Structure 1
Amino acid sequence: MDCGIQVKDSVVEAFNLMKIVSRKSEQRRKFLCLRVSDDDRYVIVNEEFDNEEFDNVKKPSEDDFLKFLSYLKSDCCCIVIYDVCYETTNSLVKDDLVIVNWCPEKAPAKQKLQFASAINIVKTKLQGVKATLQFNSMEDVSRSAVAEKLGKDVVKVEGVKVEE
């Protein structure tokens, strides 16, 4: 289903900065929250969460996962690009970009339909994503759900052990 929504160039530019910035850098964007524009024509950066601050991502932090949760409102859909840090069973620490499509049950029906279509457009435009996650309620969101999409050998997400 194509809803006619397009991805603004500013979204692609912000995403590319997340990818391009040296992984050795301590300062880079950890999250990019997207929404549909008021005229229903574009996927844009959500200004409410875009304060141009870059997060210190040298060390994984449980606070990063909690900050991610703060982007998820109970009555509003959004797409969050999350630069998640995780550890594997052989003690390799990695970070990869994931797309989280958040469509809570309390969101307006029109908005849910828009995001169901917009997520495919976003995935096509934003190349270099490890995984896409779909969450519809806070009960769905967990470190283990994120770990499952990143690979079967993931034991920690943002420095915290994944519960089985």
Structure 2
Amino acid sequence: MATGIPLSSECKHVFDQIWRLKQHRYAIFRIENERRIRVEWLGVREAGYEEFLADLCRAGPDQCRYAVYDYAYRQQYQGTTGTRLREKLFLMLWCPSQAQIKDKMLYSSTFAVLKQEFVGVGKCIQATELDDIHRDRVENELCWDRED
């Protein structure tokens, strides 16, 4: 059984709006008062990856966060010249190396709760440095792990 802070119905609702209803591109979550997880930012469906990164880092270089992102990319199939648009949902644990050890431990222990509750996530990413969340690196991870 997962330890950590339980996920609120608000977070589950927002996840459903992203995954099933396609109402938002992303959501960023934070732990509030070591007792509950709250939605901090929502990205409109038209938002780009750079906007996501700005919102993820908005709280400061030493603040941990969770994020769910519905990533769209073009996939080319071997032996063809055509591509098609694909989407893959990823869940991210952002624990910058400058964050306090207590925060890192709290966010890490609760990450398992999000992974369990957010059914439909195609990839989980844990990141500590800005290089870890650069678009090229994330896209490479998502495309490398595709199921088709």
More helix by proportion, 1 or 2?
2
- TM-score, normalised relative to structure 1: 0.76
Deviations 1:45-75 (A, max 9, x none): 12xx24xx7333xxxxxx6111111112411
- Partner of 2:132, secondary structure, is coil
- Do 1:78 and 1:102's aligned partners in 2 also have CA atoms closer than 8 Å? yes
Quote the offset at 1:151 in angstroms: 2.5
Q: Structure 1 runs of 4+ off > 6 angstroms?
A: none
* Equivalences for residues 6-45 of structure 1 within 5 A: 6-21=6-21, 28-38=23-33, 40-45=34-39
> What are the within-5 Å matches in structure 2 for residues 101-116 of structure 1?
101-116=93-108
- Whether the 8 Å CA contact 1:43–1:118 is kept in 2: the answer is no
Structure 2: unaligned runs, 5 residues or longer? 78-82
Count residues with an aligned counterpart: 138
Structure 1 residues not aligned, in runs of 5+:
23-27, 57-62, 155-164
Say if 1:88 and 1:153, in contact at 8 Å, map to a contact too. no
1:108 Cα offset (Å): 1.4
TM-score (normalised: structure 2): 0.83
RMSD: 2.1
Q: Structure 1 32/106 Cα, relative in aligned 2: closer, same or farther at 3 Å?
A: same
Identity among equivalent pairs (%): 22
